């Protein structure tokens, strides 16, 4: 049952034991769907495997793409939001994105380990744990769009927008992805 699926997933990916446990407990787990790319579904998994959906995935359990059902395409930032984020000061981008990362990470896994990883990321970014920023109308729109993204996409967006060259912050973000 679920215990076997969790043990099997933990054997393949020991650094993602919490993600694997969630995957096995969400009721969608099956022998065919438990693959590397599905770990952490839906918050941390990769995008869906196009070949699995047609029954033609040759990579099986080693496939890096998700074999679980996705309700819809993951939200992405539109051109206006991408430009806004690109033009934004790094500190402002971190202050905008980190509260969303914190909320999504703790909703995904409320363990002490996750809370510590989030706080390490905030500290490495120089953003205090309880920081709240006043948002302009356009920043509120961007914040809503960011809030619709899954945790994996949000962390990747944070890395691309505000963490280049900041080794400690990049490592802290990467720790949440694994």
Q: Can you list the alpha helix ranges (DSSP code H) found in 13-62? A: 17-25, 50-53
pTM above 0.75, yes or no: no
Say whether 29 sits in a helix, a strand or coil. coil
**Is 112 in contact with 80 (CB distance < 8 Å)?**
no
What are the percentages of helix, strand and coil residues in the chain, rounded to 5?
60, 0, 40
Residue 174: both structure tokens together: 């990467």
Is the pLDDT at 135 greater than 90, yes or no?
no
* Cα–Cα distance measured from residue 69 to residue 42, given in angstroms and rounded to the nearest whole number: 9
Query: Of 94, 96, 81, 98, which Cα lies nearest the Cα of 166?
Result: 94
pLDDT at residue 8, as a whole number: 37
pLDDT, tens digit, 9 for 90 and up, residues 92-130? 999 999 999 999 999 988 899 999 999 999 999 988 765
The predicted-structure confidence for 5-47, as pLDDT tens digits, reads as follows 333 333 333 333 333 333 333 434 343 447 888 877 887 777 8
């Amino acid at each position: 049952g679920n215990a076997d699926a969790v043990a099997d997933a933990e054997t393949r990916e020991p650094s993602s034991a919490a993600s694997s446990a969630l995957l096995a407990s969400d009721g969608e787990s099956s022998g065919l769907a438990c693959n590397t790319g599905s770990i952490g579904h839906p918050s941390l998994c990769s995008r869906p495997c196009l070949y699995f959906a047609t029954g033609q995935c040759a990579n099986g359990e080693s496939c890096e793409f998700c074999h679980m059902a996705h309700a819809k395409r993951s939200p992405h930032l539109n051109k206006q939001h991408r430009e806004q984020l690109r033009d934004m000061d790094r500190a402002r981008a971190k202050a905008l994105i980190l509260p969303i990362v914190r909320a999504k990470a703790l909703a995904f896994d409320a363990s002490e380990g996750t809370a510590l990883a989030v706080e390490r990321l905030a500290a490495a970014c120089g953003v205090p744990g309880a920081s709240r920023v006043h948002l302009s109308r356009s920043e509120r729109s961007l914040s809503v769009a960011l809030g619709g993204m899954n945790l994996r996409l949000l962390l990747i967006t944070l890395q691309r927008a505000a963490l280049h060259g900041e080794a400690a912050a990049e490592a802290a973000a990467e720790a949440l992805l694994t």
